[in-house]
Amino acid sequence: METKELEIIHGISDQLRQILSSSDQSVYIYLDDIHKVCNNRFATLLGYSSPEEWARVANNFPEAFIEPESQEILVAHYQKAMDKLIGSEFPVTWKKKPGGKVRTSVILVPILYSGKKLALHFITELK
């Protein structure tokens, strides 16, 4: 039997399927470190072979995916979004799976699904 969190992440993924599949930006939806989903653009940006491979990484999210200098920034914006239900845009430097970094601009927007707060992220690589 699926957990409530799995039902939520599957439900929001279905609801936002067109955004995940058709957006020109990298996109991911975050409920918690285990329950998250991304589009192929985001997985590829970070060097993963598929969104499923990226989603299987269940470590501490900031440590697993974000360069140390950006971790506090992302966490602070996420907490503000969840507490005050406000969106924001900020810079984040990500860790690439094969090594290296990628600098981006992130738009984080809080969303609600089945009474749970999630964070919808749109990511643009900075050249």
CATH number at residue 108: 3.30.450.20
Query: Cβ contacts of residue 19 below 8 Å, gap of 6+?
Result: 27
Interior angle at CA 82, CA 39 and CA 125, nearest 5 = 35
Q: Are the C-beta atoms of residues 57 and 43 closer than 8 Å to each other? A: no
Grade residue 1 by pLDDT with cuts at 50, 70 and 90. Answer: very low
**Count of structural domains, the chain:** 1
Predicted confidence (pLDDT) per residue in 41-89, tens digit? 999 999 999 999 999 998 899 999 999 999 999 999 999 999 999 999 9
Nearest Cα neighbor of 104 from 120, 124, 76 is 124
Q: How far apart are alpha carbons 24 and 6 in whole angstroms? A: 26
pTM metric for this prediction: 0.95
Domain encompassing residue 110: 4-125
